[in-house]
Structure 1
Amino acid sequence: MASGFGYHGGVPRCFAYWQEFSKCYAQTDVPSQCTAQADDYLECLHHTKEIARAKTVKNEFIRKAEHQAHDRRKAADILADGVIVGVGLIQRGEATHSK
């Protein structure tokens, strides 16, 4: 924030957040009251919270996809044993009782 100009001239993208922070910092006696403005400015510069949220969403998506794939694999293994077992006419693992 040295010059106040962006790379291509004009106002940089985070300049409004910088102005809010500098205004708060100039008007207060306790700088710790401006932590919200400072956090907004740093988030605009570095996008740390946005990146962390994107990683969380991606990890949850991958976890659900792996869980669904595991369930589908389990169902496919049962069906691959035989069509009759898949229909439910023969109970696997149980002894048949004759009347």
Structure 2
Amino acid sequence: MASGYGLNGGPSRCFVFWQELLGCYVVNAGEGDSGKKKCISAFEDYYECLHHSKEAARTRKLQAAYRKAEAMHPRENAPKAEQIRSLGLIGKEEATARILGS
């Protein structure tokens, strides 16, 4: 949240990362640009907490790998598109009559 407070009134989920980043900046303030370079890892942690970009990229890669594995090894006895659309009910009048005894 922009206010710094979470949904339930407590600190936001990224507040700990923000404190870590701020502490790093305070400790390394007098060193100019080299101070900022020392805080890159803290900044990346804070940014990831806010936006989840690395986690999203990892999830996309896992999903792509899963789809590729599924395509390489199709299921045996997988239902055909026609069977899925009709749920196996259309064209089964003889089986229905046999079961019902009509």
Indicate the TM-score class for this superposition, using the shorter chain for normalisation: 0.5 to 0.7
Matched, 1:32 2:37: yes
In structure 1, the partner of 2:18 is 18
* Bigger Rg over Cα: 1
Which structure 1 residue ranges, 4+ long, deviate > 4 Å from structure 2? none
Residue 94 of structure 1 aligns with which residue?
Answer: none
Mark the CA change 1:68 to 1:26 in structure 2 (over 3 Å): closer, same or farther.
Answer: same
Which residue of structure 2 aligns with residue 68 of structure 1? 73
% identical aligned pairs: 38
When the two structures are superposed, what TM-score results if normalisation uses the length of structure 1? 0.65
Aligned residues: 72
Q: Which of 57, 63, 83 matches 1:52? A: 57
Give the drift of 1:69. Answer: 1.9
**CA RMSD, aligned part only?**
2.0
